Homo-oligomer: A and B are copies of this chain.
Amino acid sequence: MQPHHGLVRTPSGLIDTLPSWYDGPVKDSILTFVNEVTAREGPSFVPPEERIAVFDNDGTLWCEQPLPVQGLFLFDRLKVLLNDRPELREKPPFSAVASHDRLQLAQLGKKGLAELFYATHTGMTTEQFSIIATRWLHTALHPQLRRPVLDCAFQPMLELLELLKRAEFTCFVVTGGGVDFVRACSHELYGIPKHQVIGTRAKTKIEVEGERFDVIKLAQLDSFDDRESKVLNIEQQIGSRPIFAFGNSDGDLAMLHYTAAGNGKRFVALLHHDDAAREYAYDRNFAISPLSQGLVEAAERGWMISMKECFAEVFTPWPRVTA
């Protein structure tokens, strides 16, 4: 292996990259991979249009504990809803939220949870939803980290996205979260445009009235972008098999296997949250984003990346340094 020392040759020259990753075999393997697939005369060259990288979002690009950020948004929106329509307070599943009944909340099940999402995320245009989500994202604080939710991205992952973009990769977020929620912040957080976000989506319909021509989000699931559905949605929206994939839970395993099974050089990684001191330590025990099958398979295949051992910094610098 060539020495890298945090320097990588990309089409735009030598760049000092990944300063928030510890030097070591993982950082080396990332830089080696990028060097190899971008080396025009090399045996592993991949033309830029086939340099597709996919990233899970919650727990991969930003913190998902104690709840994914969209869960925090959901409960804040439910407060607003129950304030506007107090009659809902008596009605399940809203009564569980109104009474802060943890047991009732835990027993909501998929159907109850879906009803809470539909009541706060649908029945409006994507444009209207995006305004609500963007406003919330710019004011919300993480309940335990005590920093803005938009400052809960992992600095090493932002550097990785930037490195791949400079190396002419096209990076996609492939999230189990709501596509419109993640699209409301993907550009600001990751420099990733809306059309490079694939996620869970509701069915939609067109409403035309006079000069108005709108698309309305309906209270019906169109695709829950998790597990095998991540692969089918990648195929549908990207149309090529990725050569680079990064996830953190069992929900990402299919996408990692799909990437690994392609011909030629591949980079596949699974982030293991094992750093209770700086972030959180969890795997099997986190119901929202379980990692159990993945722990075994990622270890077997050498995909596992320990946050503790690889991240020199965890979060983006905060308070932000402004000029």
Contacts and interface: CB of A to CB of B under 8 A. Distances in A.
A114 interface: no
A258 interface: yes
Q: How many copies does the complex hold?
A: 2
A153 interface: no
Contact of A215 (B212, B215, B235): B235
A232 B204 contact: yes
Contacts of A257: 208, 213
Given A126-B235, A127-B241, A235-B204, A213 B258 contact: yes
Interface stretch (A103-111, A193-201, A285-293): A193-201
B258 A187 contact: no
A167 to B, nearest CB: 16
A272 interface: no
A1 interface: no
Nearest to A238: B195
Contacts of A180: 239
B127 A197 contact: no
A254 interface: yes
Contacts of A187: 49
A162 B238 CA distance: 22
A211 interface: yes
A197 B222 CA distance: 20
B179 A206 contact: no
Contact of A194 (B49, B205, B208): B49
Contacts of A170: 193, 195
Contacts of A306: none
Contact of A197 (B212, B231, B239): B239
Interface of A: 49, 52, 126-127, 170, 172, 179-180, 183, 187, 193-197, 201, 204-206, 208, 211-215, 222, 228, 231-232, 235-241, 254, 257-258, 260-261
29 contacts: A49-B194, A126-B235, A126-B239, A127-B241, A170-B193, A170-B195, A172-B195, A180-B239, A194-B239, A194-B240, A195-B196, A195-B237, A195-B238, A195-B239, A201-B236, A204-B232, A204-B236, A206-B228, A206-B231, A206-B232, A206-B258, A212-B261, A213-B257, A213-B260, A213-B261, A215-B231, A215-B232, A215-B235, A222-B236
